[in-house]
Amino acid sequence: MRNLLLTIEYDGTNYHGWQKQKNGITIQEVLEWGIEKITRENVNLIGAGRTDAGVHALGQKANFKTASTIPVSKLPLALNSVLPADIRVVGCGEVSAEFHARYHALRKRYRYRIYNNPFPSAVYRNYFCFVPGRLDLEAMREGASYLTGEKDFTSFCSSGSTARTGIRNIFLLDVIKKGRIIDIVIEANGFLYNMARAISGTLLEAGKGKMAPRYIQEILEKRDRRFAGPTLPPQGLFLEEVYYNLNP
């Protein structure tokens, strides 16, 4: 029995998130269907992150156990031949039997994308958050500086979370502007429910001049979601990479 690790890219527009549920079609469900079609096995696909409805991925990771002997180099091609065009397996490798895509992840990187333009885009509407007004990039970057390091991010966690603690470590939080595009890049050892979108919404409030950047330190200390900025829409969020320490 092999344990295989997939790298997956998907457009989350038409799906109810990653995790299987009763009220809509999900990424996990479609991938398990594709794996069963190719291997003739009913598998349990374990994802590194449970992305919400409308959220995208460029580097989602997921593992499953299989008795299939299909070479790892050929499995992505086989899966992509049966999967819909908005889900693609872009890598595959064999990992140890005890490997778990979620529990063994060391850090994850998300990117929140903002289209900062006077008029909305017909093309970008499913992949960016549209913000028409002027934004103060330096205020957003100053606000970001208060959030790096190991802290309690309870103020940036939506209700419904099952996390036992709000403590997470943000290794990187950067605000990058290129033309009309503003990217908020967050790399951390883990994320609370809606944490990336809540942090992005709070930095956006600072950029709009609605919040002093230094107030973000107070938001952290309050440990209360009511004091942070809004949770931005899902379509601007991308799970970009998941990092592991995989032995050769």
The CATH number of whichever domain residue 227 belongs to comes to 3.30.70.660
The total number of structural domains that make up the chain = 2
What integer is the mean pLDDT of 40-45? 96
Q: Are strands 181-188 and 107-116 parallel, antiparallel or unpaired?
A: antiparallel
Task: Tell me the residue length of the chain.
Answer: 248
pLDDT class of 179 with cuts at 50, 70, 90: very high
> pLDDT above 90 covers what percent of the chain?
95
Which of 106, 105, 108 shows the shortest CA–CA distance to 191? 108
Cα 141–Cα 145–Cα 149 angle in degrees, nearest 5: 145
pTM of the model: 0.95
**Domain boundary residue, one of 82, 104, 126:** 104
pLDDT of residue 202: 98
pLDDT class of 246 with cuts at 50, 70, 90: confident
pLDDT of residue 247: 67
Residue 196's domain comprises 107-242
185 shares its domain with 69 = no
Written as six digits, the tokens of 22 are 């009763």
User: Which backbone phi and psi does 32 adopt, to 5 degrees?
Assistant: -65, -35
Which of 115, 137, 138, 117 shows the shortest CA–CA distance to 125? 115
Residue 247 lies in a domain: no
CATH number at residue 53: 3.30.70.580
26 shares its domain with 123 = no
Q: Is the pLDDT of residue 248 over 90?
A: no
Residue 164 lies in a domain: yes
Whether 35 contacts 2, CB under 8 Å: no
Residues annotated catalytic, as ranges: 52
91 shares its domain with 6 = yes
**CA–CA separation, 240 and 187 (whole Å):** 10
pLDDT digits (tens, 9 = 90+) for 74-132: 999 999 999 999 999 999 999 999 999 999 999 999 999 999 999 999 999 999 999 99
**Which range, of 64-78, 159-173, 228-242, averages the lowest pLDDT?**
159-173
Residue 15 lies in a domain: yes
Q: Hey, which residues does 4 pair with through a beta bridge? A: 64, 94
pLDDT of residue 10: 98
16 shares its domain with 81 = yes
User: Which backbone phi and psi does 44 adopt, to 5 degrees?
Assistant: -110, 110
